[in-house]
Structure 1
Amino acid sequence: MSIRLKVLRAAVALTLCVSAAQVAGSPALAAAAPTSLPAGQFTLTANYTQFSALNTALATKLGSATVSDVMDNANHDRQAITDSLNLPGYSTGFQFDDGDVGDCTNFPQGITTSRDAVGTANSGNYDGHQLILVSWYTKDGCDGDSSRSRITLVDWDATYPNKYRKILLVEPTGTAAAPSFKDVVVHAGGVSWYGNYLYVADTGHGMRVFDMTKILKTSTGGTADQIGRQSDTTYYAHNYAYVLPQIGKITAATTSGTSLAWSSISLDRADPSIVMTEYTCTSGCTSYPNRAPRAIRFPFASGLTTFAASTTASEALQLPWYKLNGVASHNGRWWFNSSGDKKLYYWTPAAGPSSYAWVSGGESISYWEDSTNPDLLWSLQEPIGHRNVFAVEQASYDG
């Protein structure tokens, strides 16, 4: 047998082996790996008091509600997943109700949980509830522009009914004497809950910050378009009964010459930090950058759930994968969801990269720590008709 024929047969055999591994759900080696960038090029400036006076005035006018109050009044039923996700390590999940699954004006994006907020103590309960939190953006009509953002709190505890409730995200406006609020118009592509603070990705700027202890009650009724102060005692919010007002912002800056696109974020409790990544294209995109994406780690102030007034990144990576909608990191390991490739990429500096078949329309990722059961990766799907929120065992996607 000629050397050339031997080489060809070996190549075919290798291709078949790799294909078989992919079909079986085993990791396949990725072609390229992340490389390090100078972390000092990326910084954050934090302001947690931007709207303090207005939020105090709004709380006086409207009255506040706790997370437990909201869940006691949850008015939507989650339901079982009916799609066959065919994911190795699949653990559990749910769908939203039929109205939300088929809604062409609202799109789920980010995911975080009460395990992010408080850790594993007391089964990860926040205000007595174990919760999945999903961020959404709303369009003006099925083919319209983005017009507002919201979150959904979903009970994930057998003690409580399988219910969820929507809360509108708002930005305070007006004066202390006549406070009001307006819609938060962001894509909400990523969200992280840490302590009482909720960090929401703001694509071109950084993150908006909310406080889960500052939920406000609003007047129901009015028209679907009405938002903010109508009179001294009437505040409408597109018929939402609850709003969560912004308290501040985290502004990103870089000396790299190319601003970060905050497409998705996730909390790393093992190394207290938020990691972010960018949705970019190789070429041809008009709404997104056409360049290689990056992933950056920004550490929290020591022992706190807030960033320092000024924060420098502790890790920065150039990534070889594109159309990234999700990122997670834990104990030096990284996961990246590419909706373009329908792959979940796993990487550590020591072991290198691996890739796994993933769902279509995949969005953000949240790492779920568990002290007695396997750790999980929570994620979700955006496509209309297939809005599944699901968890897989992290060990099945660990190289």
Structure 2
Amino acid sequence: MVVKHLRLVDRPASATARDALLRRGKRIDVATLLDDAVLRAQETDVPGRAAVSGFTWEPHDSGTELWYPQGVTTSADATGSGAAGTSGRNVVVVSWYAHEGALRNGARLTFVDLDTLHYRHVLLVRARRTPWGVCILPVPIHAGGIAWYGPYLYVAATRAGVYVFRVEDLLELPPRRRKGVAGRLGYDMVLPVHHRLTSRGRDAGSRVRYSFLSLAHGLPDTDSPPALVAGEYGGVGKTQRLWRYALDPETHLPRRGADGHATPDELHPDQSPRMQGATVLDGTWYVTTSQGRGNAGDLLVGEPGAFRRHKRVLPTGCEDIAAWPQRRQLWSVTEWPWMRWVYAVDADAWPGPVAPPPAEQSGARPIPPRPPASGAAPS
């Protein structure tokens, strides 16, 4: 399938500016980042029939209007890559966008040690060279979804495409080096952009929107590599599509065609309104849809065009979703102040559509019973 309007084109960040920024501080891995974390989330009962466990943030993060949680991924997505730097820890990562002053504040990631619930915020930044040195700028994106594959974190950027970050570039800035937005906001940990993937095409007059992202995990006992799932949030009059790109297990980047660009191998138009996240586990799609503040969300299970809707089983404000195959869990996050939870869902407890009977499935007409033999009394 050729889908030119979804073709991804590489837009590398300035390597010289990024390298100059990286020389300002000390690069650390995820394990060290969490060893120094002082903030601690709290286990809590999460409203919503599908939630089996979860936690909430410290009060200043749970109630802030400045930052809204959006995307979620886990260290399960990065399994098998030593570059992830987790030292075997179970890690959940949540993305936030700046709800107020977005062009000034941008977006951030929060790394959570699931065993201790200690967490630490990391500001996403761009490095720009100026006559006076390297300037640290925010990354002004909605960050509606994230996916962690090997050394890379993919972050959805709506119409700007997908921003790609290298986990090994986690940078701790000493106080005297915290210039620009990092200094103004008081962040000592930053993660600079590595490159950006853009798609500038239109379809039916609508520009492509990368509202959310996740890693699709293939069927068990197969060699099929993970894929990058993307989709659009859309209400009435908006496109509502799902698509996915094959990922190269060697480079951990989308597979390129002969033209050097990545093109999705699946595209599913006309999906559900108000989709907030989608992931794939063992060939089954799981999609979250929101119903407005104060209303419980829905979980769609099955495949595009044939979903079963489990109504009002998710907490209000449900957002992105990620699969944790080893635990047979789905992880999601909510956004509203004082109603902010990160929670797990038992993937096997929410089935897809019931298969039709074999005769109906094949389109065959039911066979009527044979009439009784002549002279025999009907049973």
Tell me whether the two structures share a fold, i.e. TM-score over 0.5. yes
1:154 aligned residue:
112
Aligned to 1:360: 316
- Spell out, residue by residue over 1:57-78, the C-alpha distance to the aligned partner (whole angstroms, 9 max, x if none): 1222222222122111102111
> Is the contact between residue 277 and residue 326 of structure 1 (CA under 8 Å) also seen in structure 2?
yes
Choose from 54, 57, 63 the match for 1:102. Answer: 63
The answer (yes or no) to whether the contact 1:139–1:146 under 8 Å persists in 2 is: no
Contact 2:46 / 2:54 at 8 angstroms: preserved in 1?
no
The separation in 2 between residues aligned to 1:237 and 1:332, in whole angstroms, is 45
Tell whether the 8 Å contact from 1:118 to 1:126 is kept in structure 2 after alignment. no
> Contact 2:268 / 2:304 at 8 angstroms: preserved in 1?
no
- Report the identity percentage: 27
Aligned-partner residue type, residue 52 of structure 2 = S
Number of the residue aligned with 2:165: 210
* Equivalent position amino acid for 1:390 in 2: Y
Amino acid at match of 1:398: P
Q: Is the counterpart of residue 280 in structure 1 residue 234 in structure 2?
A: yes
1:251 match: 198
Cα deviation for residue 128 of structure 1 reads 3.8
Cα displacement (A) at 1:344: 1.1
Aligned to 2:6: 42
- 2:8/2:261 contact within 8 Å kept: yes
Alignment pair present for 1:75 and 2:38 = yes
- The residue aligned with 1:227 is 180
Q: What is the 5 A alignment of 1:57-68?
A: 57-68=20-31
The Cα of 1:42 is off from its aligned counterpart by: 2.3
Q: 1:273-315: per-residue Cα shift (whole Å, max 9, x none)?
A: 2111111111xxxxxxx32401111122354311234111100
Of 148, 157, 160, which aligns to 1:193? 148
- The partner residue of 1:345 within 297, 300, 304 is 300
Shift of 1:174: 1.3
> Residue 104 of structure 1 aligns to a residue in which SS?
coil
1:220–1:240 Cα contact (<8 Å) kept: no
Mapped pair 1:393 → 2:346: yes
Check 1:255–1:301 CA distance in 2 against 1; reply closer, same or farther (3 A cut). farther
- Tell whether the 8 Å contact from 1:147 to 1:185 is kept in structure 2 after alignment: yes
Query: How many angstroms does 1:243 deviate by?
Result: 0.3
Output one character per residue of 1:185-207: Cα deviation in whole Å (capped at 9) or x when no partner.
11110111111101111111210
Whole-angstrom distance in 1 between the partners of 2:104 and 2:238: 24
Match of 1:23 in 2: none
1:93–1:83 Cα change, 3 Å: closer
- Identify if the C-alpha distance between structure 1 residues 359 and 109 changes in structure 2 by more than 3 Å, giving closer, same or farther: same
Equivalent residue number for residue 382 of structure 1: 335
Match of 1:369 among 325, 332, 343: 325
**Contact 1:237/1:243, CA 8 A, preserved across alignment:** no
Judged with a 3 Å threshold, the aligned counterparts in structure 2 of structure 1 residues 177 and 227 are, in CA distance, closer, same or farther, namely: closer
Give secondary structure in 2 for the equivalent of 1:71.
helix
Q: What corresponds to 2:212 in structure 1? A: 264
> Which of the numbers 63, 67, 91 marks the counterpart of 1:131?
91
CA–CA distance in structure 2, aligned partners of residues 70 and 237 of structure 1? 21
Residues 274 and 298 in structure 1, CA contact (< 8 A), matched pair in contact too: yes
1:43·1:311 contact (CA, 8 Å) conserved in 2?
A: yes
What amino acid does structure 2 have at the position aligned with 1:269?
H
Distance 1:255 1:240, change over 3 A: closer
Conserved 8 A contact 1:218-1:236: no
Count of paired positions:
334
CA, structure 1 residues 103+39, in 2 after alignment: closer, same or farther (shift >3 Å)? same
Q: 1: distance between equivalents of 2:211 and 2:336?
A: 17
Q: Which structure has the bigger radius of gyration?
A: 2
Flag the 1:349–1:265 CA change in 2: closer, same or farther, 3 A: closer
Q: Give the whole-Å Cα distance in 2 for the aligned partners of 1:221 and 1:175.
A: 19
Q: Over residues 254-279 of structure 1, what are the superposed CA-to-partner deviations in whole Å (9 max), with x where a residue is unaligned?
A: 35343211111111132422111111
Tell me whether 172-181 or 310-319 shows the greater mean CA deviation.
172-181
Give SS of 2:127's match: strand
SS in 2 for 1:74: coil
C-alpha distance in structure 1 between counterparts of 2:135 and 2:6, whole Å = 34
Instruction: Give the Cα separation in 2 of the matches to 1:181 and 1:222.
Output: 10
Whole-angstrom CA distance in 2 between matches of 1:305 and 1:145: 30
Secondary structure, aligned partner of 1:213: helix
TM-score by length of 1: 0.77
Partner secondary structure for residue 312 of structure 1: coil
One-letter code of the match for 1:353? F
Give the 3 Å change call, closer, same or farther, for CA 177–212 of structure 1 in structure 2. farther
